[in-house]
Amino acid sequence: MSPSLPASPPGNVAAEVLRVEDLRVTFPSPRGDIHAVNGVDFAIRGGEVLGLIGESGCGKSMTALAILGLVPYPGRVASGRILLHGEDLLRRSEAELRALRGDRMAMIFQNPMTALNPVLAVGPQVGEPLVNHGRAGWREAKRRAVELLQMVHIPAPWQRAHAYPHEMSGGMLQRAVIAMAVACEPPLLIADEPTTALDVTIQAQILELLREVKQSRQAALLFITHDLGVVAEMCDRVAIMYAGRIVETADVYTIFREPKHPYTRALLNATPRIGSTARLESLAGQPPIVRGRYQGCLFAPRCPLAGEDCQVEPELVERATGHAVRCWRVP
Amino acid sequence: MSAETTLAPSSEAERPPGLPSRVWQALVESDMLHHGSFVVGAAMVAVVLLCALLADVIAPYSPFDTASLANLQPPSTAHWLGSDEFGRDILSRIIYGARISLQVAVISVGIGMTLGSAIGLIAGYYGGLLDGVLMRLLDVLWSFPAILLALVVMASLGPNLNSAMIAIGIIFIPIFARVARAAALVVVKNQYVEAARAIGLSDAAIILGEVLPNALPPILVQTTLAISYAIILEAALSFLGLGAQPPAPSWGSMLNFGRGYMAFAPWTALAPGLAIFWAVLGFNLLGDGLRDLLDPRLRRVL
């Protein structure tokens, strides 16, 4: 176990579902490998929600795909361990991973309008994981699909099961997608910006539903988003990612009350708050593409605190219980 | 919403139709009866289909019976299209000929569609090197003139109807492969394909369950167009004496034999020529109509 991992809160008896250690995903390029995910560590327990936060292109989604074993060609997982209930997924064959996907771990996608096949009715798609993993025949899956649709609070589930995706609204579809993800009761759920494509009132409903399914099954939820408002509402712990690395991790209260890393602060300062008249601060520039060999703090070029010592990359160091920061220049 | 909830478990009867009936539904909703070429094409194809299915009932004479009439008689009330060089009733032979034409067309297009779509879907789904190799191989096949390719195949398999079907089927493989690949390339970019992988479906299951249903409309349109082309090819091969062998009533071979009597018995060549024209035009109009009706709308309706 790497020393930089924050200790889990005492008294939490739920078992650890997922542990990711030093995960690296690279894409070959003529000028050296691109490090999309560059040494990420985290762990999630049953019933816990870990928020993975960061700008677009900082490696959040790639981390999720790596966990599922779906890194798109020509990318590959260069090193690390992904332990699901203690078993390293990176040592599994493609066939073994296929048996786990949808059964022991499931993904909820960003855009519900495109996550379901437009030419197939919703019901069979929701029941498909059950059939695929041999948990039910088609007839039984059909019945269970209706139950699942009912569980995610879709009105008239029987009719909806026969409806096609274009006949349903975005919020309804996202409910169906969630129903599909939890069909086999996987202990690990990964939600990749599940509310980004929805309007705010529907967002709140979907978050409530996610909390509900997570709670009822004591599933671990890896919640990927760039929306800090959603984070505050949803997550137990938060890991802030920048350029393929985790730069700060803490429980959700600490992140909002005592953000330490300058990137975390910049993110918070760029978030509008009701009642505040202060100008929003924007962070100039974009996250770098990390290619080949590099040295120094990756955030330094955009960092207001950057100095001489940032020529050497800092480690993720625990500053308080459960609060680790990757920065030289904050106390 | 609340009113809907009370409807809850409804009867099986309200079940919306499956995919084939949805294509049908799309056609119905797109007022196909107002689409000129579709209606005319469908009617012309229906005539050919009826001839093929009911030849035994509607043909006035046997297509092989040489005793009923003197040879090379002009059209009359008893023999509407006259008789050929052996005194066989041409109308009956034309009607029975629809059988051979359709049989060859359907089977050869079936071969081409199955193999071509399979290759195209695989190439489009996997992409990369496999795609490049498969499609370049098909480009080689595609670059041969159709008749030449058919001649090569027939030369190695022998001149009969079965090898004509195989030869024509092979000609269609690259056509269907291209259509299926183009559709697959679009489909694989969709998130539901990634979602299918994320629930642990195998590549084969994704190709059959997710990609194929979405690629079906263009393949369907190509099928009708390919049938008309297959009718021409069958006629051409039979004309060259490579397809249906005498005395089988094939339009192509009738045209070939009738050619010799053009000067004094033009009906012997004219009748099969018009039959080919009728069938090909019918399937082309139907295909054009289908393309108009399915292509722009399916994306919305399905």
B4 CA: distance to closest CA in chain A (Å): 6
Residue B1, chain A, CB below 8 Å: the answer is: yes
Contact status, residue A91 vs residue A79, Cβ threshold 8 Å: no
Residue B247 CA: distances (Å) to CA of A21, B88, B201, B250, B251 = 78, 10, 53, 9, 11
Contact between chains at A158 and B196 (C-beta distance less than 8 A) = no
Mind listing the pLDDT tens digit for each residue in A188-205? 999 999 988 888 888 889
Specify the pLDDT at position B107: 95
Q: Calculate the average pLDDT of chain B.
A: 84
Contact status, residue B87 vs residue B37, Cβ threshold 8 Å: no
A interface with B, Cβ–Cβ below 8 Å: 68, 70, 73, 97-103, 106-107, 109-111, 114-121, 128-129, 132-133, 155-159, 162-164, 166, 177, 180-181
Q: Which of B192, B207, B220, B302 to probe the A interface (max A CBs under 10 A)? A: B192
Contact status, residue B236 vs residue B104, Cβ threshold 8 Å: no
- In chain B, the number of structural domains is 1
Lowest mean pLDDT among A94-103, A232-241, B78-87: B78-87
With respect to residue B199, please indicate whether it lies within any of the assigned structural domains: yes
Contact status, residue A290 vs residue A241, Cβ threshold 8 Å: no
Beta-carbon contacts of A319 under 8 Å, excluding residues fewer than 6 positions away, are A260, A325, A331
Closest CB to B191: pick one of A100, A114, A155.
Answer: A114
Specify the pLDDT at position A177: 94
Lowest mean pLDDT among A176-185, B15-24, B30-39, B161-170: B15-24
Q: Which of A93, A111, A119 to probe the B interface (max B CBs under 10 A)? A: A119
Contact between chains at B199 and A155 (C-beta distance less than 8 A) = no
As separate numbers, helices (DSSP H) first and strands (DSSP E) second, chain A gives 11, 12
Contact status, residue B112 vs residue B170, Cβ threshold 8 Å: yes
Contact between chains at A119 and B214 (C-beta distance less than 8 A) = yes
The residue of chain B nearest to residue A71, with distances taken between CA atoms, is B194
B231 CA: distance to closest CA in chain A (Å): 32
Mind listing the pLDDT tens digit for each residue in B188-232? 988 899 999 999 999 999 999 899 988 888 898 899 889 999 999
Specify the pLDDT at position A4: 47
Average pLDDT score over residue span A170-181:
92
Specify the pLDDT at position B9: 42
Mind listing the pLDDT tens digit for each residue in B250-265? 899 899 888 888 888 8
Specify the pLDDT at position B21: 62
What phi, psi does A294 have (nearest 5°)?
-150, 165
Query: A180 contacts in B (CB within 8 Å)?
Result: 195, 199
The residue of chain A nearest to residue B203, with distances taken between CA atoms, is A98
Specify the pLDDT at position A282: 79
Specify the pLDDT at position A172: 92
Query: B215 contacts in A (CB within 8 Å)?
Result: none
Please state whether beta strands A105-108 and A87-88 pair in parallel, antiparallel, or not at all (unpaired).
unpaired
What phi, psi does A73 have (nearest 5°)?
-60, 140
Is this prediction's ipTM beyond 0.90?
A: no
| Gap between the Cα atoms of A141 and A119, Å rounded | 19
Query: B2 contacts in A (CB within 8 Å)?
Result: 155
Specify the pLDDT at position A2: 45
Lowest mean pLDDT among A15-19, A39-43, B119-123, B288-292: B288-292
Residue B213, chain A, CB below 8 Å: the answer is: yes
With respect to residue B73, please indicate whether it lies within any of the assigned structural domains: no
Average pLDDT score over residue span A114-137:
90
For chain B, the 3-state helix, strand and coil shares in percent, each to the nearest 5, are 75, 0, 25
The residue of chain B nearest to residue A184, with distances taken between CA atoms, is B199
* Chain CA centroid to CA A296, Å: 27
Mind listing the pLDDT tens digit for each residue in A1-37? 444 444 445 445 578 999 999 999 999 988 888 999 9
Which among B219, B222, B215 is positioned nearest to B288, based on CA atoms?
Answer: B222
Contact between chains at A109 and B213 (C-beta distance less than 8 A) = no
Specify the pLDDT at position B68: 61
Residue B194, chain A, CB below 8 Å: the answer is: yes
Query: A162 contacts in B (CB within 8 Å)?
Result: 14-16
Closest CB to B213: pick one of A107, A116, A119.
Answer: A119
Three-state secondary-structure class, residue A330: coil
A86: left (phi > 0), else alpha (psi -120 to 50), else beta?
Answer: left
Specify the pLDDT at position B16: 45
What phi, psi does A245 have (nearest 5°)?
-125, 150
With respect to residue B7, please indicate whether it lies within any of the assigned structural domains: no
Mind listing the pLDDT tens digit for each residue in B170-200? 999 999 999 999 999 999 988 899 999 999 9
Closest CB to A116: pick one of B10, B192, B201.
Answer: B192
| Gap between the Cα atoms of A173 and A193, Å rounded | 15
| Gap between the Cα atoms of B283 and B79, Å rounded | 28
Beta-carbon contacts of A93 under 8 Å, excluding residues fewer than 6 positions away, are none
Residue A328 CA: distances (Å) to CA of A41, A70, A244, B249 = 19, 35, 18, 91
**E strand map for chain A:** 16-27, 34-45, 49-53, 76-84, 87-88, 105-108, 188-192, 220-225, 237-242, 245-251, 317-320, 323-325
Specify the pLDDT at position A209: 92
Q: Which of A113, A117, A205 to probe the B interface (max B CBs under 10 A)? A: A117
With respect to residue B18, please indicate whether it lies within any of the assigned structural domains: no
Question: Is A253 a residue whose pLDDT tops 70?
Answer: yes
What phi, psi does A159 have (nearest 5°)?
-65, -40
Question: Is A174 a residue whose pLDDT tops 70?
Answer: yes
B277 CA: distance to closest CA in chain A (Å): 37
Residue B108, chain A, CB below 8 Å: the answer is: no
Q: Which amino acid is at B82?
A: G
My answer on whether omega of the bond before B217 falls inside 30° of 0, hence cis, is no
Q: The CATH number of the domain where B92 resides is what?
A: 1.10.3720.10
With respect to residue B8, please indicate whether it lies within any of the assigned structural domains: no
Residue B267 CA: distances (Å) to CA of A173, A321, B61, B89, B240 = 64, 99, 17, 11, 20
With respect to residue B88, please indicate whether it lies within any of the assigned structural domains: yes
A215 CA: distance to closest CA in chain B (Å): 21
Confidence of residue B69 (pLDDT cuts 50, 70, 90): low
Query: A68 contacts in B (CB within 8 Å)?
Result: 197-198
Question: Is B36 a residue whose pLDDT tops 50?
Answer: yes
Token couple for A261: 């890393």
Confidence of residue B1 (pLDDT cuts 50, 70, 90): very low
Question: Is A104 a residue whose pLDDT tops 60?
Answer: yes
With respect to residue B182, please indicate whether it lies within any of the assigned structural domains: yes
Contact status, residue B110 vs residue B118, Cβ threshold 8 Å: no
B136 CA: distance to closest CA in chain A (Å): 22
Specify the pLDDT at position B32: 67
With respect to residue B262, please indicate whether it lies within any of the assigned structural domains: yes
Closest CB to B199: pick one of A132, A156, A164.
Answer: A132
Three-state secondary-structure class, residue A279: coil
Taking CB atoms within 8 Å and a gap of at least 24, the contacts of A204-212 are: A205/A171, A206/A171, A206/A174, A206/A175, A206/A178, A207/A233, A207/A234, A209/A152, A209/A153, A209/A175, A209/A178, A210/A108, A210/A178, A210/A234, A211/A49
Q: Calculate the average pLDDT of chain A.
A: 88
Residue B77, chain A, CB below 8 Å: the answer is: no
Contact between chains at B5 and A121 (C-beta distance less than 8 A) = no
Beta partners for residue B206, in sequence order: none
B170 CA: distance to closest CA in chain A (Å): 30
Q: Which amino acid is at B22?
A: R
Specify the pLDDT at position A130: 93
By residue count, chain B amounts to: 302
Query: A102 contacts in B (CB within 8 Å)?
Result: 198-201
Which among A236, A240, A180, A188 is positioned nearest to A69, based on CA atoms?
Answer: A188
Higher pLDDT, B64 or B272: B272
Query: B25 contacts in A (CB within 8 Å)?
Result: none
Specify the pLDDT at position B220: 87
Q: Which domain holds residue B85?
A: 31-61+79-299
Higher pLDDT, B61 or B7: B61
Average pLDDT score over residue span B154-183:
91
A107 CA: distance to closest CA in chain B (Å): 6
